[in-house]
Structures are given as C-alpha cells and as structure tokens.
Amino acid sequence: MGWKEIVGSELGILIIHTEDCLHCVELQAILGAQPLSAPTLWIEKQAGSELFERFPIFAASVDVMPFAGIFSHGKLENVVRAATKERIEEVLLS
C-alpha cells in the first residue's frame, strides 16, 4: 500500500523517518511486534517530496523523527511526534 492509499483510507498513518534515527529503529521494532490499529506506512524523509508538496502543512510540521501524520479520506487530521506507540495511539483516540 502506497502513501496515496494510506492518505485516502478511512484512517491511515504515515510515519516519516530518517536513516540515522535511533528512535525510528526502536519504534519500527515495536510496531513490527505490535502493529497499530490503522494502516501504517514508513516514509524516508528525503523520499517524501511528492507527499510534502501535496500536504505542505504536514511538511512544515515535521521536525524531530519519527514524526507521524494521521490521515482520513484524503485529509490531514493530526500530527504527532511519534516517539512511542502510545503517543500515536493517544492521537488516534482523540
């Protein structure tokens, strides 16, 4: 599933990461063992240019990695510094 399908789904999560991000590696391991309840896709920050062009507010929000965007039916619903699975789940419940 590509980022366009995640963005267009009822609820989807895009997690932006970088290669040298230790928190990203840790979160990937956790989510590999205990996935989130919504479709999730990891995107390398440098490979996200088309996504960032389409969602400039999301692009402007991305700061400390990993960073997640919560999307629904083609709209950015929320953003979160995705340091832990619990942080992402809190945003999903709000």
Q: Using one digit for the tens of pLDDT, what is the confidence trace for 50-81?
A: 999 999 999 999 988 999 999 999 999 999 99
Compute CA distances 1 → 31, 41, 50, 60, 90, whole Å: 17, 8, 16, 24, 24
pLDDT tens digit string along 7-18? Answer: 999 999 999 999
pLDDT of 94 higher than 90: no
Class of domain 3-93: alpha beta
Please compute Rg for the chain using Cα positions. Answer: 12
Token pair of 65, please?
């990695």
Q: 43 pairs with which residues across the strands?
A: 16
Percent of the chain with pLDDT over 90: 90
Can you give the pTM of this predicted structure?
0.94
- Domain coordinates in residue numbering, the chain: 3-93
